[in-house]
Amino acid sequence: MLRLRFKRTGRKKLPSYRFVITDSRKRRDGRPSAEIGFYNPITKKIKIDFKMVSQRLAQGMQLTKPVKLVLKRFKILF
């Protein structure tokens, strides 16, 4: 099953995350199917490809809890 999840990047104590589409059985930092955006919690910047997300959600992709919370916080997902 495909999931939209975070992949941690950045350095120690300065995290940055990428939105990735990957199989739910793969590890967090494994090779993703697609990278569709990024989120920086320090500067509160977010960028995501809405077209890709809507297409994949229609095909049955699921969101992880942290991704869902961030998208709701920024009023991207209702």
pLDDT (tens digit, 9 = 90+) per residue, 3-48? Answer: 999 999 999 999 999 999 999 998 888 888 999 999 999 999 999 9
Q: List the end-to-end C-alpha distance of the chain, in Å, as a whole number.
A: 23
What amino acid occupies position 24?
Answer: S
**65: phi > 0 → left, psi -120 to 50 → alpha, else beta; which?**
alpha
Cα–Cα distances in angstroms (integers) from residue 17 to residues 34, 35, 58, 60, 68, in the given order: 14, 11, 24, 23, 14
Specify the pTM.
0.85
pLDDT digits (tens, 9 = 90+) for 25-36: 988 888 889 999
Q: Which domains does the chain have, with CATH numbers?
A: 2-73 (3.30.1320.10)
